[in-house]
Each structure stands twice: as C-alpha cells, then as structure tokens.
Amino acid sequence: CLLATVTGGNALEMPSRWTYWSNEQMGDFVQSLEESNPEICNAYTIGESVLGEKLWALTVSNRTSGDPQLKPSFLYIGNTHGDEPLGRQFLFYLAEQFCSSTYDADVWEILQQGNLHLLFSLNPDGFAAKKRENAHLQDLNRNFPDPIKDGMRYLSEPKGGEEPETLALMKYIKGLGSPLVGMAALHEGALVVNIPYDGTVSNKREPNPTPDDKLFRYLAGRYVAVQPQMQMNKEFPGGIVQGSFWYPVYGGMQDWAYLVANVYAITIEMDNVKFSNKVQQLWDQHHDSMFELIKANLCQGVTVQVNTQSTGGQGVKVSMATPQMGRPAFFPAEYNSANTSLLVHESVGSAGATSGTGVSIVHYPTPPGEYEVVVEWLNETNAVEKRCTHTVVISEGQRTSLAADSCLPKKDQEFAQKRSDLDGAIRRVQEKGLATGRIEQSLDSYTSLLLVATIALVFGTLFAWRNKKKRGLNVKSARTQLTV
C-alpha cells in the first residue's frame, strides 16, 4: 500500500494511487479532506444509491474572498455509468490538489473567483458491479425528464420513474441555484467533448444545436485547446461533437441541466477504453484541460448582481442580448434562496439563487469581447415596466461584476466599466503575488509606495473625469479640486 497524505499531517491508508478506489475508500478519503482542510473543503452526501451507498460530494470555497452565493460555481460529476470510473478517480486527485495546494497559482485564482463542486460517483452500485447501469438496471444518463419526450413544461419536476440517484442529482443542481454556471459529466468510451442538444424530434442522427451553441463550443474548446490527443482525434475533428449529430439520446443529464437550471453542461469522453490501466498517463493528459474548463467558467465573463430586496415588489429578468452567449435568468418578486424551483419556459429561463444579503447573481462565462446585457423589471403580470441595456467589455482572464439594481446613464456605465477594469487589474496583481506566497518579500517599500501612488493617481483621474462629465467642470478646475 501507499499512503495518500493530506494537509495537516494526517495520513490515510489507501491502495496504490494509480488504481481505482472502492466506495468505502472514497468515503474515507473525502471526509479526510474536510477534516484536514475545514476552512475551504466541505464534504457531504447528496443522497443514497439504490443499495444504500452514499453519494459523496465536496465543495471547495474560499469564504474569505467573499460570499460564496455571490460567486459563480462549477460542478464535475464522475461515474454516471458504473463501468466508466476514470473521471471518478480523477476527481479524487483534483480534490486533493484543491484542498491541499491553495498556494498553487491556478488553485488560488479559481478559489478567488468562484466555487468548485465535485460529485465523485453518481453510480457507486454500478461501479461495484462493473456495470453501466445502476442496481435497478437503469441507465442514469437516460433517466432525466426530457424536453422532446416529456415536453418543455414538465422538465422542472420529476415525471415518475426517476432513480434515487437521478432524483438526488436533480435536487442537488436546483439547490446550488444560479451561481452554478457550468457542469461537466466525465465518461469513457470515446475521446471527445460532447455538447447539447442530445435529442432530435425526428429521432434521427442530425444537428440540433442549442441557441447558445457558440458559447458551448467556446467552453468545450477551452478543454480541447490544451490537449493534443483530442485535437488530433480523426474520428472527431476539432475534438468537439454536438450530441444529436453523434447519435440521439433522450433523458440525458446535460440537456436537462441546461434547460432547467441554466447550467452550461457538457459531457467529456475521456478515453476510448473503459477501466483503463493507464490511470497516471491519462491523468497527465487531462489534468490541464480539467483546470482550463473550470477557469473558463469561473474566471472570465460577466456576473450580473440583482438586489431582490430593492426591486419594489417587481420581478427581474436578466438576458444576454448578444446572440448565442447565454440563457435568460428570472428573479421573481420577493424571491428567496429557499425557492429555487420554478416552472421553466424557454422565454424566461430558470430562477436565480439569493445570498443572505438579498443579492442574486447570474454569470455568463463569455469569451473576450463586447456584450450587451439587458435587465428588465416586470410587474405582477410579467409585463415589462422598465428596461435597461448595459454594455460590458470582457478581456481575457477577466470576470466583471455588473450591478443591475437600476439603470445607469451611458456615461455612468462607462465610468463603472473603467472602475471595474481597474479593480480587476489590481486584483490580478495582488492574486499573482499571494498565489506564490511571496508578495511581501517581492515588493520592497519603494515599490509598494510607487504602487499606492499610481493607484491613487488613476483613481483621482477617474473621479475627475466623472465629475467633469456630471458637473461640466473643466479639467483645470477638476485638478484644482483634487489638489485642494
């Protein structure tokens, strides 16, 4: 045996690192991560399998960097099919890295920007039996309410016939609310990233892309871009396939999550061979891709904040006006975090989740570019009473927050964007130093003073510019006021 050591000096006896760990070993390992790292790691179960095995999950969150409900989150799901355990094993290694390597630059950046959820095995019974299906011989990736077979109006609630594992995951995803922006289920049997939709009305193999196909291809492309093996796969040129063009699937997980919870859910087929004995080699192959997908979802794009306690009894709808860049989110009047389940319509989207302060968020993980976000205030009949369009420019590696409490004049929008850009630049400089643990050593007193002076000068210039626009002051008078 080898010892899997976790932070805090505790050692947990586990089998050889590059084998597949049992259900019992999974539970022991996940709990040990929380025991050794309680400040950032929280282990829990979301339910039980048919045979009573616990469905273990872990949330990694840096609570010192802000309210977790006001930061986007991402979910990895392993072992949906019992005979496809590679993703399950990879999530053990990923959890260990996040819980014990907070000074790693990538880990630090991700935890500053968002939260990571890991569901290690959706099908522990199938894993133990080395079978695809669960203990009821049901394929869990054909067990969700389906938009084609069941109809759009009935997606939000169980239709009957869902397995315990399926029901647990449906409840879990809804409970995570609108901060949950992205999700990836890890499978085996091919080497490709599969994006929605999975089904077709004709029941034939043909294209059926989502309205956000461009966004899905961007996110999937981030995974493929750092993995030559996927890029060079001749069976799937470019390493990406739209599900129904590969083969139609009904009752699938990713279509349900996208339509019901506004989650940009994809499926990653990690290797042609199931139960591969090349675990270490494949971990090296997929490690950077798994990190890149998390960063694509959490560390870039626009996060819209809605204060549901200051809407005057109105519902709020947030939409991405730029085509193919995200679904609308609806925040009903007097919304609270206990009410995350609404009847979903294509024209509205799903409900958001609310923090303890009454502020709700929806995050769009867009590529760099200029985007228009529309905020609408709705009356009791859902008629639009007020509409505001915000223009946001996203740079590479930048996540911008937009407060949608009220409409801002265009000049104030420009000022808010400049302020957000400056805050983001300062934060990235700080995070780079903190991630290496050497920020105090690397900045001597002279450099620190120079940095402070520069920031003060930039802020002073921005405020002078804003005052000039609002009050008609000339540059000379603005400088005089700043000097005084």
Query: Which tokens in the block code for residue 432?
Result: 């780079």
Helices 105-113 and 410-436: crossing angle in degrees, nearest 10, is: 140
Residues belonging to the active site: 269
- Buried b or exposed e, range 339-356, using 16+ CB within 10 angstroms: ebbbebeeebbbbbbbbe
- Residues paired with residue 359 on neighbouring β-strands, in sequence order: 307
Of 10, 6, 70, nearest to 306 by C-alpha is 70
3-state secondary structure of 57: strand
Distance CA 241, CA 237 (A): 8
Please answer whether residues 114 and 63 qualify as being in contact, where contact means their C-beta atoms are separated by less than 8 angstroms: no
Please answer whether residues 225 and 273 qualify as being in contact, where contact means their C-beta atoms are separated by less than 8 angstroms: no
Query: Which tokens in the block code for residue 456?
Result: 């003060």
User: Could you say which DSSP state residue 82 is in?
Assistant: T
Of 446, 465, 359, nearest to 403 by C-alpha is 359
Rg (CA), the chain: 24
Of 254, 237, 151, nearest to 196 by C-alpha is 254
List Cβ neighbours of 476 (8 Å cut-off, separation of 6 or more). none
- Residues paired with residue 117 on neighbouring β-strands, in sequence order: 59, 75
Please answer whether residues 157 and 151 qualify as being in contact, where contact means their C-beta atoms are separated by less than 8 angstroms: no
